[in-house]
Every structure is written in C-alpha cells, then in structure tokens.
Amino acid sequence: MSQEVKPFKVHISDSELELLRKKLELARLPEHPADTVWGEEAEGGVTMSLMRDTVQHWKTSYDWRAQEAHINQMPMFTCVVKLQGFDPVTLHFVHKRATASARAGGAIPLLFLHGWPGSFVEVQPMLSTLLEAGFDVVAPSLLGYGFSSYPRQEGLKATHHAEAFDQLMARLGYNEYVVQGGDWGSLVGRILTLSQPKRVKALHLNVVATAKVFAPPPGWEEGLTEVEKAGVERAQWFMKTQSAYQQIHATKPRTLGYALHDSPVGMLSWMVDKLMLWSDAQDKKWTADELITWTLLHYFPGPSTALQMYRENDVQSMVAVAGYIEQPVGVSHFQKEVGMAPRKWAEEEFNVVFWRTHDRGGHFAAYEQPAALAADIIEFFNAQWAKSK
C-alpha cells in the first residue's frame, strides 16, 4: 500500500456537467398554485416557492466551475489508509500549515471533522483565521463522503473513521493534535479522543448529544437556565418532527440513494430541507449558490455511502455507551443547535473546562457563525495546548 500523500483538485468532467444540465432541463416540479397554503408551510418540507426559485437559478445562473475554483483555493490531498478487515480506502482532506511564525512555540495541529449533510467545505470560512492564529488545519471528508472512498465490506463504524483519521494525522507527522467536531464529527471526535488519550490533547464540540438529550428524565428542567431548557426543547422538537430522515437512512440507504443519485432536484430537496430548518433562520440566509453547491458535493460523488453511515451506526446507542473523556473539552453552544445538552449533563460525560453560549447560529456553526466559532476554537485550544506542554 502506497504511503504517498498526493495533491488533489476537484474537477467534475464536462460530460458530467452536461448530463446534469439535461436532467435539470427535464426536471418536473409539482404544478400546484403558487398561493397553496400547505405548500408554503415549512414544517411539512421544503416550500414550493423555494424549490421553484432555486431550480430556476440553477438552470439559468449557477456556475459550478466558479464554485469549483473557489473550493480549489484550499490545498487538498489524498492518501490511502488500511483498516483491519476492509479494503484500503482513499482519504480526501484539506491540509494547510499555519502562517509562518504565527504562534510562539509552534503550530497547533487541528483535526476538523464535519457531519451530514455537510462536507469538508465547512472549514473554508474559518480557514484563514485559524491559519493566522497558528493552527495547522486538517479537514478530511468522512469515509464515503465527497472525495473519500468507502470499502466494499459491511461494518464500517464510527470507530473506523476515528482510526482512519488518526492514521492520517500520523502520516502527516503529527504525534499530538487537537480535534473539533460537529454532527457526525462530534461523535467521531469523541471516539478518537477516548481511543487516543496520549495523542489527542483536547476536544472542542459544537454539538453535545448526550443520552439524556434523546430521552430527558422526569423533572429534567430542574436547575437548568432558560437557555438550556430551550436547547433541550429544541432537541425534542428535532427528534419528534425532524428526525425521520435518520430512520430512512438507517433502514433503506440504498433505496433512497438510487432516487437521490439519479435526480439532482431530488437531492436538492433532501438537502435544503435540513439546511434551512437546522440553521438559525433569523440569522443565516442561505444563498441559492450555497444550497446548490452543498447539494452537488453529495450528488456528484453519489450520496449512498454517506447514507450508509446511519445504517452502520446506531447513534443513540453509541452515545449511551461512550466513556468519560478525561482530556479537556470545550463547547460552543449556538442556540439554534438541534442536539445540545445542558452543561451539567455534558459534565457527566466530559471534562468540560470551556463553555460559551452564542445568541445566534445553529447546526452548521462553521458556516453560519465562522468568526464566533473560530474565536472559541482559538481561545480554548491555545490555553489547553500550553497546559499540555
């Protein structure tokens, strides 16, 4: 198996783009009247007006090549890693070292982990800030996401993602590092921090999904602040009204995958539903270009293997059995996050030494509030890295 780290550029072929153009021209949307009330009720799914407007923009104005060039401003690479019991897999990742002399004592290696329906591009709005603050940034695509491959064999767990990323950090020459994660990245980061206590020096999360968040105990409100109560209530709203996607991903990922793989408009609808409702609607105004680009980063490689992650991993069971993390843990609580435990619940499972609550921002904090998240990351890891030396 080659140990080589190879430079990588995103390039979707002209033939693939032409096929996409043809599919968009043939796209069929429901012909309901524009003033249909139930068609504009967001809780029932993506509104008709949003879909019509976004698809029209896609057909007439959207420029993938411009988006591709913007993504390619980040230095990207691939390498092959071997996980026991699986075929070798190719890891795609962003990697850039800190600005020269940015930090006395040397750079802090930071592993940034995304989730679904996100991707490696979530790091881009924060990248220059982190580099200037003295961080070496590594932002991989989860296995089966984007331009990271997925093995033929069954049974690829979040633990294997963690193992792959630890191999990656070792390959890049980092004996010690810190981890930041949201969504799936928070779970993979938690597993990695537990499994590598000597190598992972600290963990920062913007999603803290503890066992109690899924099933709050009787009298759960006692001792919580109003902000914390609102966070638990939002998590319950999410579980009751927004989590059906988890069941279809976990039970029929291939069935859904065929439909999304063949239909760019179908993929757009599936993505936009989550992007709009899980973010802070009062603050984050997704542009049509952003919605389409996030969609295409799943559509072009094919969405099925990313969905397979839900079939291979029971999130609630994994959270319930995960061990206590001794390393320092920092948390950024964005108030529209859909999976955030109160601090005292988090302290039952993490050595929480940093906690900051933000009035704005939701599930996609790195994209919604990049300056705020980057500031928290820098403050927390600077302090903990110095203490670990």
**Which position has the token pair 């331009």?**
147
Q: Around Cβ 225, how many Cβ atoms within 10 Å?
A: 11
32 a catalytic residue: no
Q: Around Cβ 295, how many Cβ atoms within 10 Å?
A: 25
What does residue 203 show for φ and ψ, rounded to 5 degrees? Answer: -130, 135
Q: Which two tokens stand for residue 192?
A: 């990695």
Distance CA 48, CA 55 (A): 11
Burial of 21 (0-12, 13-18, 19+ CB in 10 A): middle
145 a catalytic residue: no
Catalytic-labelled residue, pool 183, 273, 280, 376: 183
What does residue 109 show for φ and ψ, rounded to 5 degrees? Answer: -75, 125
Distance CA 29, CA 57 (A): 14
Q: Around Cβ 24, how many Cβ atoms within 10 Å?
A: 17
Spell out where the chain has E strands. 6-8, 76-81, 89-96, 108-113, 135-140, 177-181, 200-205, 325-336, 350-362
What does residue 56 show for φ and ψ, rounded to 5 degrees? Answer: -65, -45
| Nearest alpha carbon to residue 264 among 294, 306, 305 | 294
95 a catalytic residue: no
Catalytic-labelled residue, pool 145, 150, 310, 367: 310
Q: Evaluate whether 179 touches 169 at the Cβ level (below 8 Å).
A: no
- What value does the CA radius of gyration of the chain take, rounded to a whole number of Å? 20
Active site residues: 183, 310, 363
